[in-house]
Amino acid sequence: MNDFLDWLPLHEDFPESLRRIKESNAPPVERLPALAELANYRLDFLQISKLDSLLQPLLSDPAPGFISVKLGILAGSTMDHLLPALRVSALRRKIRLHCYLGPFDQIHQEVLTPNSGLWEFRPDMVLLAPQGSDFGDWKQLWKAVVSHGAAVIQQNMAISPLRIFGEADRGLPGTPACELGELNLHLARDAAEEGVALLDLEELASRVGKETWFDWPLWYHAKQAIPLAHAALWGDHVARLVAALRGASRKCLALDLDNTLWGGVIGDEGLEGIELGSGSALGEAYQAFQTYLKRLKERGVILAVSSKNDERNARLPFERHPEMRLRLEDMSCFVSHWNDKATQLKQIAQTLNIGLDAIVFFDDNPVERAFIREALPMVAVPEVPKDPAGYIGCLSSAGYFEALRLTPDDAQRTSHYAANQKREVLKNESHDLEGFLRGLDMRMTVEPFDPVSRPRIAQLVNKSNQFNLTTRRYTEAQVQQWEQTSDALTFQIRLLDRFGDNGMISVVILQALGPDQEGRRGLRIDTWLMSCRVLGRQVEREVLNVIVAQAKRRNYDFLRGEYIPTEKNGLVRDHYQNLGFKQGRAAWILDLKAYQPWRTTIQSNYHEGSLEYTHDA
């Protein structure tokens, strides 16, 4: 049994559930979600292998709500035995993972040969899993991978417990402990610098315990460096990086209050009665959990409250308890009433303008957890340990909020969402929309793509689903290619208002078309997306004003837009029509000569090098 994935619940009758899926005649689109639901349980390697054999034939069929990712794997050890766990872990995150496993110990050859099996496979991402200290120039490998438009996942080295001199080995050059330790350090630093996703195998090996991790008979027999018994743990860690690279990490943690953030029931026991802070071991455990949550919040995870309480009681500790580490302003959304928790989570998702599949629900009550798993299967629900001293460990090892690296926007995001709540209040009070928008005092800045903003652009491109006309996904490397394409116009759009900086909220990519029969020059709108946080604020109109001005300046005659429908982007079905585009044969056309700029309440600025255009609201 897989003791290291203990945030996943155990299944009561796995064989029966699997049999039902196997024997059902449901079409693949219905079987995949059923398998994904099973993947959310804690399974041993035999169960994983059975699930995987049902999964594999379904992988090639597109299914709504599932992302498809092609992962190339190059390794200095045998990895075949790990693929089932990898595919199942990806499925847990609604990812249909296609794997290519390169020939044994041919990392450099595969990466550096342009027509190798790896590049024939056209991977979105490449996992590099070297063995031993002789890994050569990894930066050169990373560069080569990125030049093919793929993202890198770099695995570091598990350091074996073998010693040459003894305790001093770590400081003695030439010993494995020293060599691999330094290699890991350099890999980690370079990865952070180059924006490469790092897979910390050494940490996994330590967690499991080196004596168990290093199974020497298996190494000599089959060159398996990662033991099958821990394939599920390894697979989950790879899958969370794959998801993060696709912008599919969770964003929001919805927290219960009583016996989750403090001991006892605030409504019954009152401010003095609840257990929190120094004085008791339990109180310290709850407080430490709050401190940990505060760190998560500071790095961009959105915190919300989902509690069955009178709201006044629920707020009391946040306002008045001296040992509280979390305050009201740390909670981006506070929902406390006596309706069921599914209603509460929906309310949180709606207020924060995020999907339910971005939420993790943390509640000490197993009945509430079971209810949410049943009612809202897209919400992640960890098995919360009985002992609050284990809360931090549970959240930390579950890795729901995997962040590849910190973008400046990440840190600001939580305050955006809090400001959004204030805007909602203002909107409710203000009856005249025009007046409301004017009162927001919106200022928009627009610039072409640049290297500094690349990570945030890639993040938006990969996770915007609703306001996204074409849902084309690009890796950071591909974003860079757009940046450098001479016949493309790229726009990154930021928005400020009186409540704060919304950060980058929209991305547009235009590409020149060849002249048409009448010799007119046009631009194809390859990508147009926007964060739903700023919906209903005329942002898209002002964006169009800016785009048109820039296109005209370059003597283009028309814009050609297309709408590619998906499960989630019904919101923008009439986008081009609403903006005044005319229905053409296969696309929407906007004649630039006849274009009358929209009147908006947004002041915009376009910068490009030293050029600047301002439009006053």
Partner 1 sequence: MTRELIQQELTSVFRDVFDNETILITDQTTAKDIPQWDSLNHINLIIAAEQRFKIKFLTAEITRLANVGQFVELILKKTKS
Residues making contact with partner 1 (CB under 8 A)? 44-46, 49-50, 53, 80-81, 216-218, 220-222, 224, 227-229
Nearer to partner 1, 46 or 328 (CB): 46
Smallest gap, in angstroms, from Cβ of residue 131 to partner 1?
Answer: 17
Nearer to partner 1, 49 or 430 (CB): 49
Nearer to partner 1, 226 or 274 (CB): 226
389/395 Cα distance (integer angstroms) = 12
Instruction: Give the distance between the most distant pair of CA atoms in the chain.
Output: 82
Compute CA distances 202 → 80, 107, 145, 232, 327, whole Å: 20, 20, 23, 16, 36
Listing from the earlier edge strand, what are the strands of the sheet with 252-255? 331-336, 302-307, 252-255, 359-362
Nearer to partner 1, 102 or 227 (CB): 227
Q: What is the DSSP letter of 515?
A: P
CB 45 within 8 A of CB 232: yes
Nearer to partner 1, 53 or 113 (CB): 53
Nearer to partner 1, 220 or 338 (CB): 220
Nearest to 200 by CA among 185, 216, 179: 185
Smallest gap, in angstroms, from Cβ of residue 229 to partner 1?
Answer: 7
Smallest gap, in angstroms, from Cβ of residue 47 to partner 1?
Answer: 9
Smallest gap, in angstroms, from Cβ of residue 41 to partner 1?
Answer: 17
Compute CA distances 66 → 60, 400, 568, 569, whole Å: 11, 17, 12, 15
Smallest gap, in angstroms, from Cβ of residue 561 to partner 1?
Answer: 50
233/65 Cα distance (integer angstroms) = 24
Q: What six digits make up the tokens of 118?
A: 């790896």
Burial of 593 (0-12, 13-18, 19+ CB in 10 A): exposed
Smallest gap, in angstroms, from Cβ of residue 212 to partner 1?
Answer: 11
Residues in the chain: 617
321/319 Cα distance (integer angstroms) = 6
Smallest gap, in angstroms, from Cβ of residue 80 to partner 1?
Answer: 5
Nearer to partner 1, 19 or 552 (CB): 19
Compute CA distances 595 → 109, 539, 551, 590, whole Å: 54, 17, 12, 8
Sign of CA dihedral 290, 291, 292, 293: positive
Which residues are bridge partners to 501 per DSSP? 496
Nearer to partner 1, 123 or 227 (CB): 227
Nearest to 492 by CA among 538, 455, 446: 446
Nearer to partner 1, 210 or 472 (CB): 210
Nearer to partner 1, 16 or 616 (CB): 16
Smallest gap, in angstroms, from Cβ of residue 129 to partner 1?
Answer: 17
Nearer to partner 1, 49 or 397 (CB): 49
Nearer to partner 1, 221 or 552 (CB): 221
CB atoms closer than 10 angstroms to residue 61: 14
Compute CA distances 387 → 222, 262, 281, 286, 393, whole Å: 41, 12, 11, 10, 11
Smallest gap, in angstroms, from Cβ of residue 452 to partner 1?
Answer: 46
Sign of CA dihedral 479, 483, 485, 487: positive
199/148 Cα distance (integer angstroms) = 21
Smallest gap, in angstroms, from Cβ of residue 231 to partner 1?
Answer: 10
Smallest gap, in angstroms, from Cβ of residue 586 to partner 1?
Answer: 48
Q: What is the DSSP letter of 418?
A: H
Smallest gap, in angstroms, from Cβ of residue 180 to partner 1?
Answer: 24
**Strand 151-155 relative to strand 197-199: parallel, antiparallel, unpaired?**
parallel
